[in-house]
Amino acid sequence: MEHPLGIFFLKLLPNPDMDRPPPVVSNIYELHEVFYMFASRLSFKKGSAALLGLPVIFALSIPLLLTACGGKASSTPGSTSGSTPTPGAASRWTWMGGNNAPGASGVYGTQGVPSTSNVPGGRFGSVSWQDSSGDFWLFGGMVVNMPGGVTAYYLNDLWELNPATKEWTWMSGSKNANAPGVYGTLGTAAASNVPGGRSSSFASWTDRSGNFWLFGGYGVDSTGTLGNLNDLWEFNPTNKAWTWMGGSNTANAKGVYGTLGTPAASNVPGGRTGSVSWIDSSGNFWLFGGGFISTTGTSDTLNDLWEFNPTNKEWTWMSGSNTANATSVCGTLGTAAASNVPGGRAGSVSWIDSSGNFWLFGGSYPDSTGAYSFLNDLWEFNPATKEWTWMSGSNTANATGVYGTLGTAAASNVPGGRFGSVSWIDSSGNLWLFGGGGFDSTGTSGQLNDLWEFNPTTREWTWVSGASTVGGGYAQPGVYGTLDTLAPGNVPGGRQNSVSWIDSSGNLWLFGGYGAGSINDTPRFGELNDLWRYQP
């Protein structure tokens, strides 16, 4: 399926590790991870002349015109004292399933029947949930076939994984890509209903009844048209039925904001991709930001904050702007204020702490030239006071990571600017962050495999595992070891737009994404379907 909003040409530097030719790329921001996977093949630093000829991706060789909080982009590298450890040093990673090479095809088996041979194919930008039994669920994502051009394939298959038996079950959706949505009747469940193929639907929730909810993303609507979606879906894992709950069944719908702070049946966020989400103590769903392509083909990002009440099915615009590309108002580090607000962005990550506060980290946004900037700012939002607090990171874009000493917390430590990471929170309330596409300790961009822990009490980051540099291959390769065997040297390769779950023992499980497989793979990069477990 060709991207519909114009054609751009990329001139890639020669790379002997890649066996795919330079592609013809359609408008890339629909899923900004697409442009980054090409950029990840180029080893460059801010200011590098190697980026000439890459105007659409993110021309960091020119001064950035927009920054996180309205200042000038930083050109001073951060500390490079963080060394690159032996891959997986201090690591507790175990390769649990899937392939150790990119590009694996799915094995679907029989719908509804688990099997040890079943496995989803390689993909990135999927959605995940976890049910009351502790099983993991995976929906959709994207595959890109590059030879002769870039053709995107959007998936709508739904999978369930039992982490005890390690068996996958294909539960719903199509084996084939780019399936259109079957919406049925608004508010009415039906066995034939199913969302269309999509990627980067990062806004998802699990309600108090254990139902899974999904909002938007970039994909295929009811007519087979590709675009930014704002449809809201509910899946009941008991009766295995999808219900279209709100939004439009056609792509590129505009938002209806209404009055700030006032719910209304007519209110609805516009079509978007790369948003983040939370659920509050009352069971209401919250949605922040994301990106979209305007009718003129420009790439835009949002910083609007929405609340959805699943009981009365009404949206409320709670914060941020109702126009695109708003800049951040950071205020004073660590101090809440009604005027504070993160700027427009997509591809951030989120957490919810034990007090019910929402946390937001990083993401990316386009400047006025179409170049992309990467953020490492950390924000806290109090849903009771409706105030944002800038808690950590830089108030300018494209910050270099400061790694410090492996395993040692420090006030100066901070991950570099990035997007498309994975996040989770542990039983002690610490925030964890893995990988993504962004900047390492030297200011070089690529796909990262670093693992970080943030303590909200001390406000200190700790570099826990993985490498502090992307290495000469633009992403560190994975060290897989033996399947289902914990070993100190094991570590996933650099990647972005994976999905994750937490099991009943507090272990992180990581699936897929776009990045590097093992060191001997050809091609070096691609869509992954490897499954990993990390034991803190």
Q: What is the pLDDT of residue 521?
A: 66
Q: What is the pLDDT of residue 144?
A: 86
Percent of the chain scored above 70 by pLDDT? 79
The token pair that represents 223 in the structure block:
């007519």
17: pLDDT strictly greater than 50: no
CA dist 450 and 465 (Å) reads 6
- Residues 6 or more apart whose CB falls under 8 angstroms from that of 246 comprise 186, 231, 232, 268, 313, 315
pLDDT (tens digit per residue) in 76-123: 333 333 334 444 445 699 999 999 999 999 999 999 999 999 999 999
Q: What is the pLDDT of residue 42?
A: 32
Percent of the chain scored above 90 by pLDDT? 75
DSSP H or E run through 32: helix 32-39
Q: Out of 64-73, 360-369, 384-393, 452-461, which region has the weakest mean confidence (pLDDT)? A: 64-73
Indicate the burial class of 15 (C-beta count within 10 angstroms; 0-12, 13-18, 19 or more).
middle
Cα angle value 300/303/304 (rounded, 5°): 115
Looking at every residue in the chain, the average pLDDT score rounds to: 84
Q: Is 281 left (phi over 0), alpha (psi -120 to 50) or beta?
A: alpha
Class of domain 7-63+83-534: mainly beta
CA dist 433 and 102 (Å) reads 23
pLDDT (tens digit per residue) in 150-199: 678 999 999 999 999 999 999 999 999 999 999 999 999 999 999 999 99
pLDDT (tens digit per residue) in 310-330: 999 999 999 999 999 999 999
Q: What is the pLDDT of residue 523?
A: 64
Q: Out of 64-68, 90-94, 257-261, 343-347, which region has the weakest mean confidence (pLDDT)? A: 64-68
Banded pLDDT at 392 (limits 50, 70, 90) = very high
Q: What is the pLDDT of residue 525?
A: 84
Peptide bond into 269 cis (omega under 30): no
Break the chain into its structural domains and give their ranges.
7-63+83-534
Strands (DSSP E) found in 328-393: 349-352, 358-366, 372-382, 387-392
Q: What is the pLDDT of residue 146?
A: 56
Q: Out of 33-37, 325-329, 442-446, which region has the weakest mean confidence (pLDDT)? A: 33-37
The token pair that represents 240 in the structure block:
């295995």
| Amino acid sitting at position 35 | F
Q: What is the pLDDT of residue 61?
A: 25
Q: What is the pLDDT of residue 468?
A: 98
Q: Out of 58-72, 164-178, 365-379, which region has the weakest mean confidence (pLDDT)? A: 58-72
Q: What is the pLDDT of residue 138?
A: 98
Banded pLDDT at 52 (limits 50, 70, 90) = very low
